[in-house]
């Protein structure tokens, strides 16, 4: 993954904790396949990565660009899912 396909940077550091995940997930959902968003955190966002594994399994790639101690930067790339396995498009009604 190359940082040249970065669509947007989301700097969560000035945000209230409760708003961070909602913004990250809604921004990710708006990305096209193979597009990347760069996340900037003041801590290692391990719990966010765990939530992505649960809610978006096999639909993302997570690459650390910087790993602290004061700033963590993560490239989060949206991957194409397999129909009926990784997501539901709604076409089959299932």
Give yes or no for a contact between 76 and 36, defined as CB atoms under 8 angstroms apart. yes
Cα separation of 16 and 36, whole Å? 23
In a domain, 51, yes or no: yes
In a domain, 43, yes or no: yes
Bridge partners for 9 per DSSP: 38
**How many Cα atoms within 13 Å fall on the side-chain side of residue 73?**
9
In a domain, 21, yes or no: yes
Q: How many domains does the chain have?
A: 1
CATH of the domain at 9: 3.30.110.40
In a domain, 24, yes or no: yes
In a domain, 86, yes or no: no
Q: What pTM, to 2 d.p., does this model score? A: 0.79
Bridge partners for 74 per DSSP: 39, 64
Considering the chain, what is the average pLDDT of its residues? 86
Question: What is the domain range of residue 65?
Answer: 3-78
In a domain, 90, yes or no: no
In a domain, 94, yes or no: no
In tens, the pLDDT along 9-48 reads 999 999 998 899 999 999 999 999 999 999 999 999 999 9
């Amino acid at each position: 993954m190359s940082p040249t396909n970065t669509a947007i940077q989301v700097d969560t550091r000035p945000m209230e904790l409760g708003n961070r995940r909602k913004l990250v997930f809604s921004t990710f959902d708006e990305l096209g396949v193979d597009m990347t968003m760069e996340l900037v955190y003041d801590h290692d966002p391990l719990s966010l990565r765990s939530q992505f594994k649960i809610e978006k399994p096999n639909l993302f790639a997570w690459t650390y660009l910087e790993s602290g101690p004061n700033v963590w930067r993560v490239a989060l790339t949206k991957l194409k899912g397999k129909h009926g396995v990784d997501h539901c498009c709604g076409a089959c009604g299932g």
